[in-house]
């Protein structure tokens, strides 16, 4: 995260924020960014080692709980445990996902169900779990992480793109349902973000050049380019925004 790119929001100081998939990559950048704003952050992740290390690094403002977000029956208990330590959450950032590659011909019903569980279903049930506390607090902000991959019709990742397309509709319906309780629901839709995972698995000089050629802005997006949008949507600076997709893609979807 780069401080010179990040506004400071008084409304986030003391806020109670829940981040899913917060142990590594973009999620870890979100956790650090909210802590820097003075928020109290609880985060969930299947990677217990990385999550424990990040919580130790950031100190008393963070609480980590290992959790497999695909376990929808266990998810409410995990969230309740964190809320018991921090207080009811007023911000939820549904971040966890995996953009694994697969061909249509290789899909099995079990793998398909796992794709949806990993990338979509937990968004709904995490929101369900935090909504009563947000309502009691007079409102809150739910931020769902989308992806431009479905807008571009990317092949080889059908489970991921289907899930991310569904997040757009889910966000709008949820915004309409929760709006009367003062709860705003939006999605952040990143472009091609260069995380450690992306660099390790798929980055090549040719792929890097391809993204730069397609983007209107000629630099590779990194997590610190996405974080400021999430902070804005979590804060009272965005009090009039709900049911919207906020694209941060360096102009990739212009092509």
* Catalytic (active-site) positions: 160
d(CA 150, CA 132): 31
Eight-state DSSP code of residue 42: E
Instruction: Please answer whether residues 139 and 181 qualify as being in contact, where contact means their C-beta atoms are separated by less than 8 angstroms.
Output: yes
Instruction: Please answer whether residues 107 and 159 qualify as being in contact, where contact means their C-beta atoms are separated by less than 8 angstroms.
Output: yes
Name residues whose C-beta falls within 8 Å of residue 49's C-beta, 6 or more positions apart in sequence.
Answer: none
Q: What are phi and psi of 187, to 5 degrees?
A: -125, 145
Provide the H-helix boundaries in 120-250. Answer: 122-137, 149-152, 158-178, 196-201, 205-214, 223-234
Name residues whose C-beta falls within 8 Å of residue 109's C-beta, 6 or more positions apart in sequence.
Answer: none
Instruction: Please answer whether residues 105 and 99 qualify as being in contact, where contact means their C-beta atoms are separated by less than 8 angstroms.
Output: no
């Amino acid at each position: 995260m780069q401080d010179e790119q990040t506004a400071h929001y008084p409304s986030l100081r003391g806020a109670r924020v829940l981040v899913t998939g917060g142990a590594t990559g973009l999620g870890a950048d979100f956790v650090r960014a909210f802590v820097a704003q003075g928020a109290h952050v609880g985060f969930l992740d299947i990677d217990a080692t990385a999550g424990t290390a990040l919580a130790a690094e950031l100190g008393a403002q963070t609480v980590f709980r290992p959790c497999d977000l695909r376990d929808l029956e266990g998810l409410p208990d995990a969230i309740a445990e964190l809320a018991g330590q921090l207080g009811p959450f007023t911000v939820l950032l549904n971040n966890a996902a995996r953009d694994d590659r697969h061909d249509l011909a290789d899909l099995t019903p079990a793998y398909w169900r796992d794709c949806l569980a990993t990338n979509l279903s937990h968004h709904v049930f995490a929101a369900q779990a935090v909504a009563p506390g947000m309502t009691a607090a007079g409102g809150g902000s739910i931020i769902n992480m989308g992806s431009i991959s479905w807008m571009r019709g990317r092949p080889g990742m059908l489970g991921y793109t289907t899930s991310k397309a569904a997040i757009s509709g889910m966000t709008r319906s949820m915004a309409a349902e929760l709006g009367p309780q003062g709860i705003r629901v939006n999605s952040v839709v990143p472009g091609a973000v260069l995380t450690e995972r992306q660099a390790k698995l798929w980055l090549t000089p040719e792929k890097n050049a391809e993204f730069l050629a397609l983007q209107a802005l000629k630099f590779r997006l990194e997590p610190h380019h996405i974080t400021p949008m999430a902070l804005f949507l979590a804060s009272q600076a965005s009090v009039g925004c709900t049911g919207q997709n906020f694209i941060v893609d360096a102009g990739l979807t212009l092509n």
